[in-house]
Amino acid sequence: MSDTALSGPKSPTARNMFAALQLDTRLLGMIGAFIVLCLVFNVVTDGRFLTPRNIFNLTIQTVSVAIMATGMVFVIVTRHIDLSVGSVLATVAAVMAVVQTDILPPILGLGHPAIWILAILAGVVVGVVIGAFQGWMIGYLGIPAFIVTLGGLLVWRNVAWFITSGQTIGPLDETFTMIGGIGGTMGETGSWVFGALAVAAALWLQFTSRRRKAAHGFPVKPVWAEITMMVITAAAIFGFVWVLNAYDIPEARLERIFEARGETMPEGIVMGYGIPYSVLLLIVVAVIMTVVARQTRLGRYIFATGGNPDAAELSGINTRFLTVKVFAIMGGLAALAAAVAAARLGFSTNDIGTLDELRVIAAAVIGGTALAGGVGTIYGAILGALIMQSLQSGMAMVGVDAPLQNIVVGTVLVLAVLVDIIYRKRTGD
């Protein structure tokens, strides 16, 4: 009898266990780099970087760029580029500001509850129309996306100037400003409820995905691997909620909140901010864009066109109209980002969104979207935006001058593309 038979079946090796989890190695590398980045900045800032307050600020500072980065994934996947998103953001922000300060108040009355909704709807419509128009020029007139959007970068920035007559417009509607970040949060209880619902939804999706794979005869993960992923998912969600809840509202602000309610603040009470509404908006956008990318015909057409445009057209995909759709989506997301950016400032300024086009493209590329087209993920783009914002915020906390910050960010972008090229050559993607 052999030694193997006597010893029984071998226990799974670490490599086999890792393979059973079916994790995205590139995503793990990005998460690892992000963790190292945070730890380094936490050390050099004497522990100030990883405080609940700074993490809270990082999340709200990342939202605007991250929302647009999800749309930029679709644009780059289809082998295009959009250099105009920062200028489109400025135009849409100007439209929303004028609508809620000059147009609607005389009609509905100052402070009417519908003002902020109509202002955002007006901005989204304008953003979608601008995006669709640029997509039409690219898809149907055959003008390269680089030229169309480079022209858009100049045109829409100055259209915004004419809409506002070069002036800062504000203050904006109080309800509208709540989607900007610190001014509007879910509170501790609401955040825990949201976290519980998010965990339940994630576990349900994981369960249904496993059952669907098994029903169609596809290989599934071992039960222990599924449980491990469930635990990791739940820990990540609840950990995120716990950190944001740990950032306490200052006592003076808390007093004003109770006064606005006509109540007296109890002595010794402490309350956390919780999840900002802007972060909630980003989560909703991320979920919708992920579903579109993975579960819809539009998503399949986008990635098929990016992989091989000629083959996609021969297979019956209307690639011209698809280009219009992709840029319309980009315009709509730029409008949502404009709402967040303007609400965070409380005003619409002439320089809002300046250089955002570069930050958005960099976030998508750092997040793994291939400039050659056909490859990209929504979660990767959001993580790329978070890495970029963490890098800039960390350098600012250390005291690095703005010019050197831009040099570092530019260098990181080039290195990210180089690493991506090397990775795809080795993996054959």
233 Cα distance to chain centroid: 19
Which whole number is the average pLDDT over 314-326? 94
- 162 vs 18, which has greater pLDDT? 162
pLDDT at position 353 over 60: yes
pLDDT at 222 over 90: no
Select the highest-mean-pLDDT range: 180-194, 245-259, 413-427. Answer: 180-194
pLDDT at 3: 46
Residue 390: Cβ-neighbour burial (10 angstroms; 0-12, 13-18, 19+) = buried
C-beta of residue 25 within 8 angstroms of C-beta of residue 378: no
Q: Can you give the pLDDT at residue 33? A: 85
Of 53 and 412, the one with more pLDDT: 53
Phi, psi of 361 (to 5 degrees): -60, -45
Mean pLDDT of 235-245: 93
Average pLDDT for 134-139: 96
Higher pLDDT, 340 or 404: 340
Average pLDDT (122-142) is 96
Q: What's the confidence (pLDDT) of residue 21?
A: 61
* Residue-level pLDDT at 25: 73
13: phi then psi, degrees, rounded to nearest 5: -75, 165
Range 71-82 average pLDDT: 95
Residue type, 380: G
pLDDT for res 8? 42
CA torsion through residues 38, 39, 41, 46, sign: positive
Half-sphere exposure of 34 (CA within 13 A, CB side): 18
Given a contact cutoff of 8 angstroms between Cβ atoms, the answer to whether 373 and 79 are in contact is: yes
Tell me how far apart the alpha carbons of residues 234 and 337 are, in angstroms, rounded to a whole number: 28
Confidence of residue 142 (pLDDT cuts 50, 70, 90): very high
The pLDDT of residue 10 is 44
pLDDT mean over 356-383: 89
Q: Which of 10-24, 159-173, 295-309, 329-343 has the lowest mean pLDDT?
A: 10-24
Q: Among candidates 35, 34, 133, which has minimal Cα distance to 88?
A: 133
The residue with tokens 């915020």 is: 393
CA distance 53 to 57: 6
Closest to 385 measured CA to CA, from 78, 85, 80, 25: 85
What average pLDDT does the chain have? 87
Q: What is the DSSP letter of 316?
A: T
Query: How is the chain split into domains, by residue range?
Result: 52-184+316-427
Confidence bin at 235 (pLDDT 50/70/90): very high
Question: What is the C-alpha separation between 37 and 27, in angstroms, rounded?
Answer: 15
Report the residue count for the chain: 429
One-character DSSP codes across 360-393: HHHHHHHTT--TTSS---HHHHHHHHHHHHHHHH
Given a cut of 70, whether residue 352 has pLDDT beyond it is yes
Q: Where residue 409 falls among pLDDT bands split at 50, 70, 90?
A: confident
| Site of tokens 């319309």 | 328
297 CB burial (10 A radius; 0-12, 13-18, 19+): exposed
pLDDT of residue 272: 84
Q: What is the mean pLDDT of residues 102-121?
A: 89
Interatomic CA distance for residues 17 and 224, integer angstroms: 10
Give the model's pLDDT for residue 23.
66
Q: Give the model's pLDDT for residue 266.
A: 80
Q: How confident is the model at residue 72 (pLDDT cuts 50, 70, 90)?
A: very high
pLDDT score of 18: 58
